[in-house]
Amino acid sequence: MTTDLMEKIVSLCKRRGFVFPGSEIYGGLAGTYDYGPLGVVLKENVERLWLRMFRDERDDMYGVDAAILMNPKVWEASGHVAGFSDPLVECEDCKKRFRADHLGAPADSSWACPECGHGPMPLKVRPFNMMFKTHAGATENETAIVYLRPETAGGIFTNFKNVVDSLHPKLPFGIAQIGKAFRNEIAPRDFIFRLRELEQMEVEYFVGPSEWELAFEEWRKIMHLFAEAVGLPSGSIHELEVPDAERAHYSKRTIDFEFEYPFGRKELWGLAYRTDFDLSAHSGASNTELAYLDEETKEKYIPHVIEPSLGVDRTILAILASAYHEDDMGGETRTYLALAPRIAPVKAMVSPLLKNKPELVAKAREVRAELRKVHPAIAWDDNGNIGKRYRRQDEIGTPFCVTIDFDTLGEKPELKDTVTLRHRDTGEQERLTVPEVADRIRSAIQ
Ligand code: ATP
């Protein structure tokens, strides 16, 4: 049943242009997916909302867009060169590789290959560094090695001093960034859940050492508000307090925000208190002063950091999994995506009842132009019968359909200039004037 749901989501995403397998005509490339015409808009809507809630609505937040390629010393200082690894095991027989912690076997036990069944074999684990390596410039030797960043945070910490020197923010303040990150995952899987090329929305929020708990609670609340704003059902996010032994050594507190995916409860986002680890490490390794001087108290210290880290792709998958619905309408099974109107790629579809009646078409064009003043994403569809048009929009999550018929033109004088507004989730229809429809759309997408 649950794999069935994943198959349906993957198939809908491909059929309707949300997400395609990467390099598909060449047989694909594991761990990569491409966002199609509707997916890219959904993603942009999610990112815009994040920027609004995590950066723009606040006076203490600044943005950066740092380069993906960075001086490799960044990743030495951050600990990624030495320690950004997953425990790798290899099947003695088929040579397939797995993450030891995904096998479900205790650390000292033997294991059987989930792929070919070979086993039991001894659990020989070795660390596998997940950073992608490449070379900068024309020399392909050790000195030219650069990494594709494994998280966007590195570009935030290295710009801490630039932001302080150029904008002079007072602590506490934060820096937000959206961008690509790359992880050579041993076993990419579960559609866009575990990718090798992914996108992150990250904040590094800098605080005085005694203020971390307050800031932690504040960001924790904002993350829940964001979950609600993108339409994840209340109660679908479960907080997991990461125990001491499993946390990164520098983190004093971490909460994983988990979501009930069709393949199990898994990490959606993370929130971590990273102490002064990052800025201290970069300050030491780069020999640059990264301490902050509090003008009032004259105290000088390395700021501590709270980091809400959100994966865009895992967010999109959570949105799709909770929005996917099937019901029975008019004796047929219909599929619809109950997307929150503010993130739906298409806000409304306008349609003349019949496409061969020029008066209907002209009026419908006029209505569409009017509604596009509210939002540009107002689609046009005059193909096939009206029921089919509604179904097509349901499947991509369009919250409203607007139909122009003979009553709009005044066949029943009391209905002149009114249109039918159909609601996606219930299929209910009501008769409204165009300004009333515009108001409905405007308030739904806020
Ligand atoms: P996991 O334990 O699932 O590998 P992680 O704890 O390594 O994840 P973080 O390093 O905390 O993940 O990364 C922050 C966020 O980036 C995650 O909460 C997730 O949303 C996203 N993310 C991490 N790895 C991937 C990936 N391979 N594919 C897609 N998103 C990812």
pLDDT tens digits, one per residue of 243-263: 999 898 889 999 999 999 999
Question: Which atom in ligand 1 lies closest to the alpha carbon of residue 311?
Answer: 20
Confidence of residue 343 (pLDDT cuts 50, 70, 90): very high
Q: Convert the pLDDT of each residue in 24-53 to its tens digit.
A: 999 999 999 999 999 999 999 999 999 999
Q: Look at residue 15 and tell me whether its pLDDT is greater than 90.
A: yes
CA distances from 416 to 353, 411, 422, 430, 431 (A): 15, 7, 18, 14, 11
Dihedral over Cα of 4, 35, 320, 17: its sign? negative
Residue 401: pLDDT over 90:
yes
Q: Which atom of ligand 1 is nearest to the CA of 195?
A: 28
Residue 45 CA to residue 50 CA, distance in Å, equals: 9
Name the pLDDT band for 109 (thresholds 50, 70, 90).
confident
CA of 268 to the centre of ligand 1 (A): 8
- What confidence tier does 93 reach under pLDDT thresholds 50, 70, 90? very high
Give the mean pLDDT of the chain. 95
Least confident of 215-229, 286-300, 389-403: 286-300
Which of 199, 251, 267 for a ligand 1 pocket mutation test, highest count of atoms within 8 Å of Cβ?
267
Our answer on whether the CB atom of 177 is closer than 6 Å to any ligand 1 atom is no
Name the residue with tokens 């109107």: 341
**pTM of structure:** 0.95
pLDDT at 104 over 80: no
Q: Give dist(CA 327, CA 344) in Å, integer.
A: 20
- Let me know if domain 346-444 sits in CATH 3.40.50.300: no
Q: What's the CA gap between 119 and 123, in Å, rounded?
A: 10
Q: Which residue's CA is minimally distant from atom 16 of ligand 1?
A: 311
Q: How far is the CA of 193 from the centre of ligand 1 (A)?
A: 9
How much distance in Å is there from the Cα of 311 to the middle of ligand 1?
7
Q: Where in the chain is the domain with CATH 3.40.50.800?
A: 346-444
The CB of 274 under 6 Å from ligand 1? The reply is: no
Q: Is the CB of 198 under 6 A from ligand 1?
A: yes
The C-alpha atoms of residue 328 and residue 42 are separated, in whole angstroms, by 26
pLDDT, tens digit, for every residue of 49-76? 999 999 999 999 999 999 999 999 999 9
| pLDDT confidence band for 122 (50 / 70 / 90) | confident
Please tell me which residue, 125 or 68, carries the higher pLDDT value.
68
**Is the alpha carbon torsion for 336, 337, 340, 343 positive or negative?**
negative
Identify the three-state secondary structure at position 420: strand
CATH 3.30.930.10 domain extents, the chain? 2-69+153-320
pLDDT of residue 102: 83
Give tens-digit pLDDT for 366-391.
Answer: 999 999 999 999 999 999 999 999 99
**pLDDT exceeds 60 at position 1:** no
Query: Under CATH, domain 2-69+153-320 is a member of which superfamily?
Result: Bira Bifunctional Protein; Domain 2 (3.30.930.10)
Q: Is the CB of 313 under 6 A from ligand 1?
A: yes
What pLDDT score does 87 carry? 87
Distance, in Å, from the CA atom of 429 to the CA atom of 423, rounded to the nearest integer, reads 6
Query: Of the candidates 226, 269, 204, 175, which has an alpha carbon nearest to the alpha carbon of residue 53?
Result: 226
| Region at 328 (left for phi over 0; alpha for psi -120 to 50; beta for the rest) | beta
Nearest alpha carbon to residue 201 among 133, 153, 272: 153
> Can you read off the two tokens belonging to residue 271?
């929130």
Q: Are strands 126-129 and 85-90 parallel, antiparallel or unpaired?
A: antiparallel
Which of the given ranges, 99-103, 218-222, 233-237, 250-254, has the highest pLDDT on average? Answer: 218-222
> How would residue 107 be classed by pLDDT, with cut points 50, 70 and 90?
low
Is residue 199 within 6 Å of ligand 1 at its C-beta? no
**Mean pLDDT calculated for residue range 171-193:** 97
Measure 318 CA to ligand 1 centroid, in angstroms.
14
Per-residue pLDDT, averaged over 18-28, amounts to: 98
